[in-house]
């Protein structure tokens, strides 16, 4: 058996956002390889005149965009009432039960504007337990009846 053939770079699953009933997010796990690729893509080298050395600088906005695109695949049940608990929004004249559609742009805004959502996302995306296949449960065979004690 070759380990290379068993390794999965990414796997997605639906996870409920605790505390906001009905709000679930489809998230994808990132492998170390993918995360490293995102970091490299979002890092630039700049010359520091004071230290006279080249420094690598992470472009935070670009990182949020790439990270969000790779990790959030969709959501359901995000109402304006839920959104109001995550970020500051204008609710005047809005139907608070209206759902916010998932788009990559909406996901990026939510991740960049809500520290609570960003923290939650980082916790669930890197927790392998969230992406493991459910173990197959062996159902014991029914016995032939009651056993009487002598």
pLDDT digit string, tens, across residues 97-150: 999 999 999 999 999 999 999 999 999 998 888 888 764 444 444 444 444 454
Residue 137 in any domain: the answer is no
Burial 87-125 (b: 16+ CB within 10 A, else e): eeeeeeeeeeeebbebeeebbbebbbebeebbebbeebb
| Residue 116 within any structural domain of the chain | yes
Closest CA to 29 of 59, 86, 3, 67: 67
The pLDDT tens digits for 13-69 are 999 999 999 999 999 998 888 889 999 999 988 888 888 888 888 899 999 999 999
With respect to residue 136, please indicate whether it lies within any of the assigned structural domains: no
Nearest Cα residue to 13 out of 103, 100, 74: 74
Give a yes or no: residue 149 inside a domain. no
Q: Are 106 and 100 in contact (CB under 8 A)?
A: yes
Range of the domain at 109: 9-131
Q: What is the pLDDT of residue 22?
A: 95
As a whole number, mean pLDDT of residues 86-102 equals 94
Residue 2: its pLDDT value, please? 86
In a domain, 59, yes or no: yes
- Domain-located, residue 140: no
At 134 the pLDDT is 62
Overall domain count for the chain: 1
User: How high is the pLDDT of residue 139?
Assistant: 45
Which of residues 102 and 10 earns the better pLDDT score?
102
């Amino acid at each position: 058996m070759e380990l290379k053939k068993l390794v999965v770079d990414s796997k997605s699953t639906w996870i409920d956002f605790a505390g906001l009933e009905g709000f679930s997010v489809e998230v994808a796990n990132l492998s170390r390889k993918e995360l490293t690729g995102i970091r490299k893509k979002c890092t630039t080298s700049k010359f520091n005149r004071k230290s006279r050395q080249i420094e690598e600088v992470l472009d935070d906005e670009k990182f949020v965009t790439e990270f969000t695109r790779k990790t959030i695949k969709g959501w359901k049940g995000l109402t304006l009432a839920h959104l109001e608990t995550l970020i500051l929004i204008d609710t005047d004249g809005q139907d608070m039960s209206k759902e916010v559609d998932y788009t990559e742009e909406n996901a990026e805004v939510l991740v960049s504007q809500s520290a609570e959502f960003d923290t939650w996302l980082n916790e669930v995306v890197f927790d392998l337990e969230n992406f493991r296949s459910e173990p197959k449960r062996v159902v014991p065979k029914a016995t032939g009846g009651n056993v009487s004690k002598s």
